[in-house]
Structure 1
């Protein structure tokens, strides 16, 4: 049998490597901007078209490259940052693998212009699908300028699976945020289709966070600072009252590099325990500094998964640092250790002052065994004891004040409902007039023939609103409720760009939102199908939900808008519902085409069988 194993051609090997390193346009932006940082750049400009599918241009004022280095940089595993295997265990640069440029050149049309400060001329290189088309001297500015055109043009399967422009743009913005936050001394600009998304000047850490996420965040930031022999922890956390329903403002950095770390995230959430509103997440921007020998970043091609030598020692340091910062800023209730647990003894008055002791009234004639005095005639009369019994019953009702289900005396029900079984015998025939119970202002309990139905009230409302919005989008006829006092809303550049992309669909849903200056919008009207008391809050929640929506396909753009708006507009957990509101919610839910699941596929209701309930009482 002949030999069948052979070496792959370089072009094929580079395409395979590109599958790991370059997953989408945002991956190109990340790798090239990190290279600019390693080159000592103080100004970096990113210019993209069509969310990076058509063009990604990144220019910097770094050290530039010589003609030989410019050509070598496109070879696989060619790097200026690693000399030996030992260097892998003490990495201080952003890039080091030497795969990025080779991978990009294998799947795109690449032009490079680069020049060192002391050189009179720079170098121009043109590569298409790993094939060098041109290399020649050229006049250009100091530093490096990359132009990446037609990404994945020769890998149609990869290009086909790229998401909608709004989604790809979202990922590019995330990468810029992750690079901009730990590098406030670098000027970074981002343009999309000629529109400025970010122009971040050189500044300090706090101002950089505010520039990236908007001025409204500034009031919520609390400083964190902890210096130990193991790790230094600095940065900012958000006050609990400003926590958001969705994640997106949670950032860990180690030695200037963004990382994901669920274990350390738990340390922060533990510090916020019992301080956050239900189902919310605090903002945090924490920068960890420690010996480069104590971490391993060579775990994943994207370099966002980092191993720590002593993460179990770092966990309590992060937790304590966050908890201490919350306490210093009076976010955590303080404890006065000098007074806690002490007994408050009144100071006696000076001699000569009138001292009054409490008076106790005693009935010397009281005899607990004297039935005649308590009940005239010497016998117990229930009618006379009734007032006392009724008072006890009133106290019992006070304990359960606010409960949705009120049990009335049996005689108040019609004759045919003389027992509990009879009372709910017809419960499953219709929802009108059914007795229901709202549990912990989160679930709705209602009996059915087979047992007990439990409904998640927020998910149920999401399903109802989603189907209403979809009907509106199909009919293109919607009533807009004009605001008596229009509200203005200021967004960060990323959210502003996102809102612009979905503005037309929001107009068709009944929103009347217009641009009102740079990153500022005015809300003149909202959908008539919604009862909106705070349009600004709904728009902010809509943007957050849209950013985290799982839908991406262009054909489902309107469905994505409807789903995001439904989630943003649905009643929150903790909302107390009146009996008629509960009844209407149930009726509307079961009028939906798909009442069992929320728009994002989560279960809305479940039924606990009567048999299971009976089993719980069997023992």
Structure 2
């Protein structure tokens, strides 16, 4: 077959295949155009999950009548005028492909008016056939109506899912947008009925917007992140490890305000959580990364879902370090002030320190009644159970109770003071607002683990030369990475030289891991360096070994502890980084508020 020029209709439908996947794609492109036009309110009207109708109305700047035919022409845009503009895109849309692509596979109608115009103008496009511009009454702004998506491409329409599924994709994208643009009011209706409304006029860190998009539980466990350096700024929320997910359904990343997916950043987040998250669980986060537009290329994906960073390694390390340090501040008993629903008062107030450090503040009720409660508990336990550690004649099986020590301070520390040991496994402690239960083995395991890491880090990463250098067979790409990243490998404890096109000579390995499978570890490190420009494989393997050592050194179940020993463990937990979880990601403690305990026994009813 000879080479021929494709007709415009087929060109537009090929482009539509890249841009328009489903009704949610249409909503995304049209709403982004509205935001670029300066809209402060956007109405989204849908029928049959967007398949029958998508109508987007905005109060933005509008378009001149003569611009309407250009708006549905390929590669016609008001946002790019030069190569410099393309290299520093600051708008959500810029290619000029969305409207012509959508128009080629639907029945599209645009009505728009600028503030200075006497009336609006309308243009209809039916399956790519452009009509005439006609006068039309319209308030300032633009309305784009898309009917019968894929009516002229039956093969594409067959791949659409059920109405509820397609609507779900639209709602998820709008939720993502609402998180990033709380200043814009979004109103959604489906099949003629109001479905959702996001109020506008809010600030970026709006507690109300966080509640209405991701729910009270995420807001309750959210840690505020704010870090800046090397021309990068990362801010937003990450969920505490206790709030983990079975899937990655609450992971939102924005680069210069654009919602994107990036494997390198996702990898950095997973690495930051690696030490505190239970196996198989997913972290939840809403993160905004800001940098010079010249340092990120947004023109790498037809639907603008992905970007390419000019300094990918720097971005990866910056995100990892920022989140790693924030999570290090999640000490047991101290938690970030949850994002409160309007009218409520947080029980914990965030401090100004780095890493989400906070100060504990007792309520007025706690301050007034705490001393009396402590003294009553002390006297009661002394009478019931006798001397410390004996259990007393009336003590229930499996419980070791001891009198509470006298304390002069009106407010106890965050984890309170130990009351008893339950079944040789848990420490029961009275805190200002109720009861704290601590898994003593898990808690001691984390304390020992962090001490081992600190001790090892202070000595530096020592290497151990191999008695006989080891030849490692690798792919040519891996050999090139090893040659290029020899300095990085040396920092990780490997002395590696290239021995041939597909072979390496390993002369030294990290001393702590010398007895393990260092060849497999080296391959994993090379794979990370090739994929992400960075690797924590060595640190991860080291941490796994230290974690095992800490586990064996931690207090075991059924070991009876005295009150001073229990209190010493509680104080160490409050001072140890990441002490809210054990080395395997399990929680080390739980708090039960006095009001919750009152409900158990129906007090006050």
RMSD over equivalenced CA pairs, Å: 2.0
- Contact 1:327/1:333 (CA < 8 Å) preserved in 2? no
- Of residues 39, 42, 46, the one that matches 1:41 is 39
Corresponding residue number in structure 2 for 1:362: none
SS at match of 2:254: strand
* Cα offsets for 1:194-239 (capped at 9, x unmatched): 3333211121234323221222321011100001133100000001
Matched, 1:51 2:49: yes
Seen in structure 2, the aligned counterparts of structure 1 residues 280 and 137 have a Cα distance that, compared at 3 Å, is same
Moved more, 311-320 or 189-198: 189-198
Matches within 5 A, 1:347-496: none
Moved more, 8-17 or 99-108: 8-17
Supply the distance in 2 between the matched residues of 1:332 and 1:263 (Cα, whole angstroms). 33
Supply the distance in 2 between the matched residues of 1:332 and 1:79 (Cα, whole angstroms). 54
- Contact 1:109/1:149 (CA < 8 Å) preserved in 2? yes
* Cα offsets for 1:594-613 (capped at 9, x unmatched): xxxxxxxxxxxxxxxxxxxx
* Cα offsets for 1:165-185 (capped at 9, x unmatched): 222112212221232221111
Seen in structure 2, the aligned counterparts of structure 1 residues 331 and 225 have a Cα distance that, compared at 3 Å, is farther
- Contact 1:230/1:314 (CA < 8 Å) preserved in 2? no
Seen in structure 2, the aligned counterparts of structure 1 residues 154 and 333 have a Cα distance that, compared at 3 Å, is same
Corresponding residue number in structure 2 for 1:157: 155
- Contact 1:326/1:332 (CA < 8 Å) preserved in 2? no
Matches within 5 A, 1:129-148: 129-148=127-146
Quick check: which has more Rg, 1 or 2?
Answer: 1
Corresponding residue number in structure 2 for 1:320: 321
Corresponding residue number in structure 1 for 2:203: 204
Matches within 5 A, 1:541-552: none
SS at match of 2:89: coil
- Of residues 120, 123, 136, the one that matches 1:122 is 120
Matches within 5 A, 1:260-339: 260-330=261-331
Supply the distance in 2 between the matched residues of 1:236 and 1:332 (Cα, whole angstroms). 20
Corresponding residue number in structure 2 for 1:79: 77
Supply the distance in 2 between the matched residues of 1:301 and 1:180 (Cα, whole angstroms). 23
Supply the distance in 2 between the matched residues of 1:108 and 1:261 (Cα, whole angstroms). 31
* Cα offsets for 1:260-300 (capped at 9, x unmatched): 11221122222222322332112100000000000011101
Supply the distance in 1 between the matched residues of 2:31 and 2:330 (Cα, whole angstroms). 37
Matched, 1:229 2:227: no
CA-CA distance at 1:131 after TM superposition: 1.1
Unaligned runs of 5+ in 2: 336-584, 587-605
- Of residues 22, 26, 29, the one that matches 1:28 is 26
Unaligned runs of 5+ in 1: 335-572, 575-619
Supply the distance in 2 between the matched residues of 1:271 and 1:98 (Cα, whole angstroms). 38
Supply the distance in 1 between the matched residues of 2:187 and 2:160 (Cα, whole angstroms). 24
Supply the distance in 1 between the matched residues of 2:288 and 2:100 (Cα, whole angstroms). 31
- Contact 1:222/1:329 (CA < 8 Å) preserved in 2? no
Corresponding residue number in structure 1 for 2:592: none
SS at match of 1:110: strand
Seen in structure 2, the aligned counterparts of structure 1 residues 332 and 82 have a Cα distance that, compared at 3 Å, is farther
Corresponding residue number in structure 2 for 1:451: none
Supply the distance in 1 between the matched residues of 2:133 and 2:4 (Cα, whole angstroms). 31
Matches within 5 A, 1:156-175: 156-175=154-173
Supply the distance in 2 between the matched residues of 1:19 and 1:144 (Cα, whole angstroms). 25
CA-CA distance at 1:152 after TM superposition: 0.4
Corresponding residue number in structure 2 for 1:109: 107
CA-CA distance at 1:332 after TM superposition: 10
* Cα offsets for 1:309-336 (capped at 9, x unmatched): 11211222212211222233436999xx
Supply the distance in 2 between the matched residues of 1:258 and 1:317 (Cα, whole angstroms). 19
CA-CA distance at 1:132 after TM superposition: 2.2
Seen in structure 2, the aligned counterparts of structure 1 residues 106 and 18 have a Cα distance that, compared at 3 Å, is same
Seen in structure 2, the aligned counterparts of structure 1 residues 326 and 52 have a Cα distance that, compared at 3 Å, is same
Supply the distance in 2 between the matched residues of 1:271 and 1:15 (Cα, whole angstroms). 43
SS at match of 1:28: helix
The size of the alignment, in residue pairs, is 334
Supply the distance in 1 between the matched residues of 2:32 and 2:262 (Cα, whole angstroms). 21
* Cα offsets for 1:129-159 (capped at 9, x unmatched): 1112342011111100011000000001101
Supply the distance in 2 between the matched residues of 1:103 and 1:318 (Cα, whole angstroms). 36
TM-score by length of 2: 0.53
Supply the distance in 2 between the matched residues of 1:213 and 1:146 (Cα, whole angstroms). 29
Seen in structure 2, the aligned counterparts of structure 1 residues 328 and 142 have a Cα distance that, compared at 3 Å, is same
Supply the distance in 2 between the matched residues of 1:129 and 1:273 (Cα, whole angstroms). 50
SS at match of 2:131: strand
Seen in structure 2, the aligned counterparts of structure 1 residues 331 and 16 have a Cα distance that, compared at 3 Å, is farther
* Cα offsets for 1:243-269 (capped at 9, x unmatched): 111220001110000111122112222
Supply the distance in 2 between the matched residues of 1:11 and 1:41 (Cα, whole angstroms). 32
SS at match of 2:249: coil
Corresponding residue number in structure 1 for 2:188: 190
Matched, 1:252 2:248: no
- Contact 1:35/1:94 (CA < 8 Å) preserved in 2? yes
* Cα offsets for 1:309-366 (capped at 9, x unmatched): 11211222212211222233436999xxxxxxxxxxxxxxxxxxxxxxxxxxxxxxxx
SS at match of 2:109: strand
Moved more, 246-255 or 170-179: 170-179
- Of residues 57, 62, 65, the one that matches 1:64 is 62
Matched, 1:239 2:240: yes
SS at match of 1:324: helix
Seen in structure 2, the aligned counterparts of structure 1 residues 332 and 294 have a Cα distance that, compared at 3 Å, is farther
Corresponding residue number in structure 1 for 2:356: none
Corresponding residue number in structure 1 for 2:5: 7
Supply the distance in 1 between the matched residues of 2:328 and 2:190 (Cα, whole angstroms). 42
